[in-house]
Amino acid sequence: MSLSRRAFLESAALSTAVATAAPGDRPNVLYIILEDTGPHMGCYGEPLVKTPNLDTFAKQGVRFTDAHCTAPVCSASRSALFTGRYQTNIGAHNHRTWDWHKTTLAGSAKHVCDWFRDVGYFTCNLQPAKKAAVNGAAGAGKVDLNFHAHGANKEKFFDGTDWKQRKDGQPFFAHLTIIETHKGQGWTIARQRPKSELVDPDKLKLAAYYPDSPIARDEYANYLDAYQLVDSYVGQVMARLEAEGLAKNTIVVISSDHGPLFRGKQFLYDGGTHIPLLVRFPDGKDAGKVDNRFVSGIDIAPTLLGVAGITPPPGAMQGQNIFAPDAKVHDHIFTARDRMDTSIDRMRAVRTKQFKYIRNYCPGTPYMQTNEYKEKEYPTWNLVKAWAKEGKLNREQALFAAVEKPIEELYDVVADPDEVHNLARNAAYKKTLNELRTLVDGFVAENDKRVQWEDPLDIYRGYYKRLPEDAA
């Protein structure tokens, strides 16, 4: 017997009652992360991409239009997504945190699997039976968190790799990472389909900060091609739920860890933080609903628990179950960026429905500082640098290639969705600037107590294993 969504919500505040309920009465929860994706689906208004499975899923559930991750990179964002706490708050803010710097979560903070496991759920991170298999529908098995799991096995967050491993009648919480939209093999696979099924680069409408070049157009189009490949994998997963009779009692949540492409990933513009969020209930409740509320990455974990009728104790999470009857409607959200691989930086931002404020703590460091990953994987990144040297960039394109950053950035994201007209020094926006400054000050005071500057030598030793002179 499956619970209705109303019953889930009514039981959200009664975690002890859920813990003693018959296992067969608890819903399964499947959480799917589409790696490195923004809301570039047909249902979100992307005109050139074909995402029939995701569009159908959106019609069957709730589509959130203003969901934002808390960090624009995998490990930091996932650390928040799976704990319901800001990555800065738990010391999980640097991408990557080397094993000898990782610690287990302190205080009442837990990985979401711990909360599910406490009330009898089987937890699994879906992945192929054979690691050599290439199968996006089976999942990549990615965890990528900047802290250790509780217990003797520091890397074991999940109980297994497939829900088939659970006991009879045991509900499951399953996570699935579909990695094909992450730069790499998936982009190549996506391009192997007939040309008629691929996105035409010449039809793309590029943002103002993009250089209009075949290189930039091809990279963007290839991302959308990979999105279409991922859509087919989502269809396979939904078909599996139906075939195994699980769709009738499984709540499915689909989101991303952060945004894509050269000025998106690693940065606090909307391209790096704005993510899709779709939720489908088995009873069809709210099918086709569009929800325009702000949702933060720290809301994902408490929502995953909440729809299953599990409520952590007060203070365990900073986010909220967005479906709870008493859920607050936020008028702003916070995001943060810290070290990315060997690229040391610190940025904090707050976004309202109309404005985005970014504070750069390292203004002397360019946005496009040396970053081996970006230089290896993103042709547009290298193109912008080359055109900057040649003086070929216009004003909007040249901003991101500047040799230093402004201390403060303020954008009217309604009038300027590309975030290229900085209003921080415009006297007409002084009141707004001061208000958003104050919000960031409060966020930093509350959440940055565990943020420390790292020794660059230690960072390079961690990233490259050892420096050349260490071998001497």
Identify residue 284 by its one-letter amino acid code: G
C-alpha–C-alpha distance, residues 196 and 225, integer Å? 11
pLDDT score for 151 = 82
Question: 5-330 and 347-471 share one CATH topology?
Answer: no
pLDDT score for 472 = 46
User: Could you tell me the two tokens for 472?
Assistant: 């001497």
> For 12, which DSSP code?
T
Q: Which distant-in-sequence residues (6+ apart) come within 8 Å of 11 by Cβ?
A: 3, 17, 18, 309
Q: Which pTM was predicted?
A: 0.92
Which range (88-102, 260-274, 314-328, 382-396) has the least confidence? 88-102
CATH number for the domain whose boundaries are 347-471? 3.30.1120
C-alpha–C-alpha distance, residues 43 and 51, integer Å? 8
CA distances from 11 to 7, 40, 91, 155, 299 (A): 6, 35, 32, 32, 18
Instruction: Enumerate the domain spans of the chain.
Output: 5-330, 347-471
CATH number for the domain whose boundaries are 5-330? 3.40.720.10
Check if the beta carbon of residue 305 is closer than 8 Å to that of residue 372. Answer: no
Number of other residues whose CB lies within 10 A of the CB of residue 182: 23
Check if the beta carbon of residue 294 is closer than 8 Å to that of residue 354. Answer: no
Q: Which of 239, 209, 123 is nearest to 170 (CA)?
A: 123
Q: Which of 140, 159, 151, 138 is nearest to 110 (CA)?
A: 151
424-432 long-range Cβ contacts below 8 angstroms, 24+ apart: 432/355
Longest dimension (CA), the chain: 68
C-alpha–C-alpha distance, residues 39 and 45, integer Å? 9
pLDDT score for 452 = 84
Strands 347-351, 408-412: pairing is unpaired
The predicted-structure confidence for 100-122, as pLDDT tens digits, reads as follows: 788 999 888 999 999 999 999 99
pLDDT score for 465 = 62
Number of other residues whose CB lies within 10 A of the CB of residue 16: 9
C-alpha–C-alpha distance, residues 45 and 24, integer Å? 39
C-alpha–C-alpha distance, residues 62 and 326, integer Å? 18
Q: Confidence band (pLDDT; 50, 70, 90) for 131?
A: very low
